[in-house]
Amino acid sequence: MSTSPDPATRWATLRGGDPREPALLREVAARYAEPHRAYHGLSHLDALARLYADVDRGPGWVHPAEVKLAILLHDAIYEPGRSDNEARSAALAGELLAGWPVEISRVQAMIDATAAHDRADTSGDPDLAHFLDADMAIIGAPPAVYDAYAQGVQREFAKIPAAMFRAGRRAFVAAQLARASLFQTVFFRDRYERQARENLQRELAALTTT
């Protein structure tokens, strides 16, 4: 994980130039550095900053300012096991962005959509589709990176009995594999679909035999 002390440098691709930005980035950095975040932490945000730039160079973003802020704040509140992390993060975004010259409701809607990636309605909204795919791109990472992600999620849920966690994780992985496509956009599908299925199948086999 990068240890850059300056979030403005660390997430340069997510900078927009607003004078309030440095304070927001410091707030974001402190939240994502919380010790219980074994996966949903600084490295996750690092990856999304890189993926933002990848999409920017490819199909592009329609509303880049709102996408950048949604990336920064989508996991601003994260407590493993709670079902309202996304709603609370969206509410916090509304508070932190009050007065910013952006469409705050769009930022909040994007954050809310991360509660159920595959059930979100992205029709006519390429920004939302690419944003959600970027958030899930970890499943298409090289095997060692994927395994570190899976282990990180398991550590975040360490307070849950192991058997219960494995059952829930098996259900999640099986549900992903049952989808016709793991990604909603051609951009991410072409890059990550094949490896994502291999990763998920490998994890499901391990979860089934343990």
- In the 3-class helix/strand/coil scheme, how is the chain assigned residue by residue? CCCCCCHHHHCHHHCCCCCCHHHHHHHHHHHHCCCCCCCCCHHHHHHHHHHHHHHHHCCCCCCHHHHHHHHHHCCCCCCCCCCCHHHHHHHHHHHHCCCCCCCHHHHHHHHHHHHHHHHCCCCCCHHHHHHHHHHHHHHHCCHHHHHHHHHHHHHHCCCCCHHHHHHHHHHHHHHHHCCCCCCCCHHHHHHHHHHHHHHHHHHHHHHHHC
Q: What average pLDDT score do residues 33-55 get?
A: 97
Q: Is the pLDDT of residue 178 over 80?
A: yes
Q: What pLDDT score was predicted for residue 1?
A: 43
pTM (two decimals): 0.95
Q: Kindly state which CATH superfamily the domain 7-209 is placed in.
A: 3'5'-cyclic nucleotide phosphodiesterase, catalytic domain (1.10.1300.10)
Mean per-residue pLDDT for 133-161?
97
pLDDT-derived band at 100 (thresholds 50, 70, 90) equals very high
pLDDT of residue 210: 65
For the stretch 190-208, pLDDT in tens is 999 999 999 999 999 999 9
- Is pLDDT larger for residue 116 or for residue 56? 56
Confidence of residue 5 (pLDDT cuts 50, 70, 90): low
Identify the band that residue 10 occupies on the pLDDT scale cut at 50, 70 and 90.
Answer: very high
Q: Looking at residues 130-151, what average pLDDT do you find?
A: 98
- Calculate mean pLDDT across residues 148-173: 96
Average pLDDT, the chain: 95
